[in-house]
Amino acid sequence: MSAAHSQNLNVLLQEIEGIHLTHHNPRRLRADIAAEALPALLALLRGRASYVHLSAISCVDWIEENQFELVYHLWSYETSVLISAHIRIPREPGIYLSVFDIYTPAAFFERDIHEMFGVYFEGSPDMSKFILTEWNGPPPMRKDFNSEKWVMETFSWQEYHPDWLKDLEEQGGGIVSTPESIRMDNK
């Protein structure tokens, strides 16, 4: 059943222009497509195939190529196949379309990505703060956000060097790399 089904799916997917399919294994399919074609692909997979479950949207920051990669993970309960649809959008201005109309749970993932990466999703029902309600800085998961530097500027540090550790160090043991030695200011 599975082989026949995947053949049908391949025929179906050829309707999308410029799609590039990679079969990692029979239950894993990677589809690289242009950003404009993604809503059509998702509508097709949900409407005409059995991919009713959008299990996650993940985001990758390719800072050297100045792009964000968005990965839509779609699951079919009938064939147990996971399709991941990969698109690339320019890092600036970092705006993309919401797929909330096709998959309702997308609102949750899009809000999360907006908070962590600063990608704005047009048409998403709620783009307000989600988990980082106390956060006013730049989106923290972007590669150009220097977490260690921010920590250095915001928090003070407390040494922890207990007596039992000193005893161990006298015998030649102890911690190989302390946080102090890896911290930014000692680099």
Q: Which residues bind other proteins (CB under 8 A)?
A: 131-137, 140, 145, 147-148, 150-151, 154-160, 162, 179
Q: How far is the CB of 50 from other proteins (least distance, A)?
A: 39
Please, which residue, 65 or 167, has the CB nearer to other proteins? Answer: 167
Please, which residue, 90 or 179, has the CB nearer to other proteins? Answer: 179
Q: How far is the CB of 151 from other proteins (least distance, A)?
A: 6
Q: How far is the CB of 29 from other proteins (least distance, A)?
A: 35
Please, which residue, 19 or 165, has the CB nearer to other proteins? Answer: 165
Please, which residue, 95 or 184, has the CB nearer to other proteins? Answer: 184
Q: How far is the CB of 128 from other proteins (least distance, A)?
A: 15
Please, which residue, 134 or 144, has the CB nearer to other proteins? Answer: 134
The span from the CA of 29 to the CA of 24, in Å, is 6
Nearest to 64 by CA among 100, 39, 91: 91
179 upstream amide cis, omega within 30 of 0? no
Q: How far is the CB of 150 from other proteins (least distance, A)?
A: 5
